[in-house]
Structure 1
Amino acid sequence: MSKPSYKELEMELIALKENAIVSSKELSYKEFFDNMADMVNVIELIYDTDGQPIDFYNRATNICFSKFFGKTQEQLVNKKISSIVDVIEDNWFTSFASVDKTGEEIRFKSYGAAYDKFYRVTAWKISKNRVGISMSDITEAEKAKIELKKNLKKEQKERSKTEYLLKEKRVELQENIYNLNSANTELAFQNNEKEKRANELILANTELAFQNNEKQKRADELAIANTELAFQNKEKQKRADELAIANTELAFQNKEKDNRADELILANKEKQKRADELVLANKEKQKRANELILANKELAYQTELEVYRFEMEHVAHDLTLLIDTANAPIFGIDSRGLVNEWNQTSEKITGFTKDEVLGKDLVQNYITKEYRESVKKVLDDALLGQETANYEFPLFAKDGQRVMVLLNSSTRRDAKGEITGVLGVGQDITELDGYRNELELKVNERTLKLNQALEKQKELNELKSRFVSTASHEFRTPLSSINFAAGSIKKYWSKMEPILIQKKLDKIEDQVLHMTKLLDDILIVGKAEAGKIIQHPVDINIGDFMSEIIDEVSSACEKSHDIKLIDAEGLKMTDIFIDEKSGRNIFINLIGNAVKYSPTTKNITVALSSEKKYTVITITDYGIGISKSELKTIFKPFSRGKNVDLIQGTGLGLTIVKEAIDAIGGKIIVNSTLGNGTSFIIKILKKQHV
């Protein structure tokens, strides 16, 4: 075979560069590499003379990585990183050098302040001095974690405040317990002192016997100490012998070091001799330079061609390793939907090996049923040239679990540009998906609490409106009466009869009492809702208690109604266990209401009865009654019936009754018919059941 000419070699090199002759497998892996969603590149580390990393070359970069720097792949490949960016952190060099030297993959997180982005960086060894790097954008997850930490810290602060208050209460309680215990301890101490004095003589005798025994022990310990001292002297002699041996060894090593120095001097002389010979050889070579120009040029082209072929093979090998060892799951399917690529990360997250999945239908065998149709559409669109980014779907794992994957689909084309399949580059977001679900639950929980608070605020606003309306009306009427009466007295004082003046003063006094009662009712409701009403229940004769209240209500209404106390079971001489003030509020309001809302009927009954746990008082009137729909709201503040017409009232009486009964652990039952009257049944716990 004839030797190729210089011109033939030159044309072959140009054709190789223009057509980028690589195998179909190399094109496939290059396509995989360029279509990855993460930023991926292959670097070659540069070390100084001390073996420390100082820079690196970008030997291969994908499209995503190039876009990040705003450059083309050609502008980045075979360029030093120091010529691309102004600043790169030292720990990146040391981390990548660690991967190169140990061969162990590393992962770490990094924050880019210039872009306000968080990245997960993965680095793995490809070959000597060459490392694969992948960077994934994890900003969303990291910021969600930061937000959750802030919320948790806020909740922790509020919890700490509550715990501090509880701690103060606990300390106060412990101090009281301590004072009590101290008093008990002092009493016990005084009793024990007498006992101790009696036992001290016995202890003294025992101590004497113990000291004699200890004296014998000290003698035995002295003998043991002498033996130990002899042993330590022997050990000291051994250490001295070992030190002498070590000094001998050190002298030998120093001698060897001198020998190596002499050898190095001889080697340097030999090196200089070889340098002189090389100068002579170069001079000889220069003489033949004119004769060998064409041969050297031809050899240079051959060498460049071989280097280019080697680089292409090396890049293809690096890309193969990069795809297979990338930290992202990468898979490929052909035009029929059958798996033809499956990297190590895909094996790792699913448990299925490459041999198990090759040739299988991806959608039918490894996608959960509810996602098959949508995943098939994404893959079919990619086969039509319509690529999809950031699509979430679950994969079946070998152990039956579901793995959530964030997919970027890319169309695969052959050298002629025809579509041959789909490349899928994913990211395992199972942990992120669970974290997001947990975050959504917390948001829903906070939203529910907020809605409850808003509903409570709405109720308070309605209550405030009713209070303003009712209070304005109830204060306006007596104030108008007071103003009118006072004005009349002031204007006609000299002409008015004393008896008429007295009537007007009595009217003023009655209206002042009415306003005072209204204010008292409002204060009682406020204390009840704040839990500030303190109960002091005592035994009270029920007959005397109820008779006194009936007389007080009768006097207030000028005996306009016949109020009867019915005692069918003979309970008048028994006691009721109740706070007197709360009891008066309950029964004065209920009997007073019975009188007030019975304008046309005059009979009212107060009946006493007994149950196993309760003393029962039933107050019945035959007045205007309460409608069925209004029975649900009669205990709410400022609630009044539609049929009360011009009957004076604030709507607080039954609220006070309900709060007082709840505070003492009682019950209240209402039975009413509109137009036929109302019965209030009050059940008060007996003392033995409180």
Structure 2
Amino acid sequence: MKNLTLKKFISYWEWDFMLQGAFSPDLYFVGEEGVEYAFQLRHFLEETTFQQLQNELERYLHRDTIAPFVKHLQFQICDNEYTEVILSGNKVKVDGGKSLKMIGSFIREEGLEQLIPRINDIEPQYLELVYESIPEMIFIIDKEKGGIVSCNHEVEKKLLYSKDELIGEHYSMLLSVEDRHIAELGLIADDLVANRFFTISRKDGSNLYVKISGRTIDYKGKSYKIIVLIDKSDLAKTERELARREREYRQLVENSSDYITIINSDFKIEWLSKNFEDSLGYGYEELKGESFLKFIHPEDRPYMERLTIQAVSENWKNYQHEIKIQKKDGDYVIFQSDVVRYSDDAGNKAITYSKDITALRRAENEQKRLNKLKGEFVSIASHQLRTPLATFQTNLELLDHLIKKEGKAEKLDVCLNRLNVELARMSAMTEGLLLIGKTDANQIEVTPKCINLCEFLRKLVETECYNVQVKRYRGETPPLIVADPFLLTNVISNLVENALKYTVDNMPPVVGVTKEGDTTTFYVKDYGVGIPLEDQETIFESFTRGSNVHDFAGTGLGLAIVKRFCDLMNVSISFESEKGQGTIFYLSFISRPS
């Protein structure tokens, strides 16, 4: 079979179970040259489908129902071609009511829309059959008075009214208030009402969105209007949802900070968001239709071409890139883009969502430049400070030797002590500046190691001879942590020496280690002057000291170094302090399993 089509958009059938389910008459098809062919129904169905159809018809025949039988089938009219057909029918009593058989129709699904324009072509004896069995709502209306004369079962099913509730009522009872005055004009007109959409009210108060078609017919010797309502509620819902999404998407695009473009496979710009005009200085029409490559910095163009070829060859769905785009004034902006590839009827395309990161990259480059300058300054300053300090120290030692040799040491002790104190202060400041500079320039190497914090603290106190009270560790498992030994030594030493320096009344600071859950904590408590509340927020900044420690020597760099070293080791540092009551500093580490 090749290129066969059903001769009519509607055909009729009978089925008698007592005759082994024979269908009659044959279905007529038309070939390429207008030759007619007659085939039995089973000729177009797979055997299992045909047997299933007969079983369903048998069950329907013996079921107590007045609803029509409706089934959608696929007719295979040639090797790889199918046509969708609606098979519908009703029971008919035969042999004086002693037995039943089925009478029905075949309607091509694409023929449903043609049903009303060709309603008068339906053979009279089959009109009620078609009218009752097709899966759409049908009304027969008195053309002069507008009363409902009859309706099919599908009306009852979809509108929830019974026939008795509808027959005799004016059809306008079903129309929404908004549509009533418009629909009345169309439904009573003599000409065809086709493809008009209205809202119909159901019995439960809900609405259906329907397409209405109508035509005048001769029914039982009188002219009536037959109206078909095709339920399009799902279509209307989908259209409303699509319209809502389109509005939301447009608002999103118009208010988005992203720069959005649609580019085809030839790199031509098909669409772009309006914010490009402000960023690049070009008008919309100056960019649309142009090659995207035209605006890319020459250094980035080969990279962009290679990346796109790779994306196509490896079928990437999305990817990222960062390129420089030329503005109308000749300057360049840097765009970081997320690219999504897709296909439509016009071919392969890509949507790019871009952000202008020019300011960010310039800030990063400036920061790198400043870090480089800072590192160079620290190196030069450290060298320049160390050289005179070394000379200063050498001459002090020589002066000390000469004075002692000549026996005049007692006269210059005060002077020498002052020089030594200043020397120590300058050395500390120089080392502090060097450490802060290296930290800020990322020149400090961190070498994490597993450390028993109690053992580490004990050895440090013994080595430095710190006059502190070491609290006994009471944990059940060793307080193992991961930290850089050099940095940790610097941090703890700084905190302990501060505690010793600021302690009054000769009360030694207390140091100890605690462990709770996954956290191991080192603490140092002093009974000194404390940190005033107004100074606590800035206490870790460089060259910052408490407002109540003017009588204590210091550079204001110690806690700044401590904070930077803690950050390098991912150690949390905190404190509690009250002016005149002392201070407790805490270092919190993530415990390492024993």
Q: With the length of structure 1 as denominator, give the TM-score of the two structures.
A: 0.30
Structure exhibiting the larger radius of gyration computed from Cα positions: 1
Greater strand share, structure number = 2
Q: With the length of structure 2 as denominator, give the TM-score of the two structures.
A: 0.35
Greater helix share, structure number = 1
Higher relative contact order (CA 8 A, sep 6+): 1
